[in-house]
Amino acid sequence: MAYLEITLHVDPANRPAAATVYEKYKQQFLDTIAGATGKELLVRDEDVQVLHCFQTLTDARAYLDSELFTQDVVGELAPLLRTDPDVRVYDTV
């Protein structure tokens, strides 16, 4: 199992719009991305994180190059972000 954690620095006023993007693409992510097994939105005072679950590390890395991520998700989130997202990929042992 592998995890992709993306931390988004979004102003509180823009968080509802960011959550809308998350909801809009969640099912498509689960239905069309190879190895995708889950996706959760985690909200803290300082940022918003999206935790993606995959069957393998290869699947997680491939998603970062997918059209769904690079064009759809990033395209809609970009205007809402204060800084570039922090992207981390984790493998389980």
Per-residue model confidence (pLDDT) at position 62: 98
Per-residue model confidence (pLDDT) at position 68: 97
- 66: containing domain: 2-91
**pTM of the full structure:** 0.92
Q: How many domains does the chain have?
A: 1
Please enumerate, as own/partner, the contacts of 62-66 that have beta carbons within 8 Å and a separation of 24 or more.
62/33, 62/34, 62/35, 63/4, 63/29, 63/33, 63/36, 64/4, 64/89, 66/33
- CATH number reported for the structural domain that contains residue 34 in this entry: 3.30.70.100
pLDDT block averages, 10 residues each, the chain of length 93: 97 94 97 98 92 98 97 95 96 90
Per-residue model confidence (pLDDT) at position 93: 82
